[in-house]
Structure 1
Amino acid sequence: MLRKFPTNTLSADPQLDAVRAHFDKHGAALCNAAGLINGEAGTARVLRLMSGLREASRLDRAARRKLVELHRLLSLDPFGDDLEPDLSSWPLLDPASPVVEEICLLTDRLYDLLVEIGELDDEQKALALAHGVQDAA
């Protein structure tokens, strides 16, 4: 059973807050989708990611990489090493089926989250530069 992310406490990291909110809303569906594509390994990948997010104080590089890898898995974008999904065991699904449509929607939402994280990075860098200019003056 998936536990909900605590929503009454916010971290000092707006990116971590955005990711936690996303997984609070879509975590179970992401687990199911990754499980359909990559079996128990896919489900375990999402559960490990969610567990790490619960314990994190900020969104570090490793968590970002795992988010990108999850997006690639859901997109069926081939990637190397042991992370490559075993598509031979994936049942052939009708592209018009609700399951495939749901996976596509989840993938699009995850992409939007990745874009949001990138935009928050840009905003934080701009604020840091502006603060540095004020300190220098």
Structure 2
Amino acid sequence: MFDIPQPATALHRFAQDHNQSIQHAALLLGGSFWLRRVQRLLDDLASPRPLTHRILRETQALHALLSLEHVHDMERVEAACFALLDPDAPYVAEICLLTEGLSEALEQTAAPGSTVQTLEQEVETNG
């Protein structure tokens, strides 16, 4: 009924601190579809709202994109985008750093002693 302000999580702070870099990486690795998808996620993370199942699912999908999980599936746009990348370009190192940073933000957002999977279970249980 009422929106109760929540403290920003590490995930909220990561999204805010790396907003432009995340968008650039999404465009390079997944084209305009992924850019729009990431922009919606970043909009959701722009204010310290409670994390929902959808936000966590989208964050995990972003992590899969940054981790190059789907570049070997020739049916996916990620494979075509990956084929166009220059492995010696400076954006490759930036994408690696973003991937590590997102992993850390997800782990920090999870309660101490829990994992990202238990964080998702907590979100499902609480709302």
Fold agreement, TM-score > 0.5? yes
Question: In the alignment, is residue 69 of structure 1 matched against residue 61 of structure 2?
Answer: yes
Report the CA distance shift for 1:86/1:43 in structure 2 as closer, same or farther (over 3 A).
Answer: same
Larger radius of gyration: 1
CA distance in 1, matches of 2:15, 2:113: 19
Matches within 5 A, 1:81-96: 84-90=76-82, 91-94=84-87, 96=88
CA distance in 2, matches of 1:119, 1:77: 26
Secondary structure of residue in 1 paired with 2:50? coil
Unaligned runs of 5+ in 2: 115-127
Question: In the alignment, is residue 32 of structure 1 matched against residue 24 of structure 2?
Answer: yes
For residue 21 of structure 1, report the CA deviation from its aligned partner: 1.3
Would you say the 8 A contact 1:31–1:43 is kept in 2?
Answer: yes
Tell me which of the two structures has the higher relative contact order, counting C-alpha pairs closer than 8 angstroms and 6 or more residues apart: 2
Normalized against structure 2, the TM-score is what?
0.71
Larger helix share, 1 or 2: 1
For residue 87 of structure 1, report the CA deviation from its aligned partner: 1.7
CA distance in 2, matches of 1:120, 1:85: 36
CA distance in 1, matches of 2:66, 2:26: 7
Please list the CA deviations of residues 29-86 of structure 1 after superposition, one character each: whole Å capped at 9, or x if unmatched. Answer: 000001001111111111000112236631111101111100000111129xxxx443
Unaligned runs of 5+ in 1: 1-9, 123-137
Point out 4+ residue stretches in structure 1 off by more than 6 angstroms: none
Report the CA distance shift for 1:24/1:67 in structure 2 as closer, same or farther (over 3 A).
Answer: same
Normalized against structure 1, the TM-score is what?
0.66
For residue 27 of structure 1, report the CA deviation from its aligned partner: 0.9
For residue 121 of structure 1, report the CA deviation from its aligned partner: 8.0
Aligned-pair identity in percent equals 29
Matched residues, number: 107
Secondary structure of residue in 2 paired with 1:119? coil
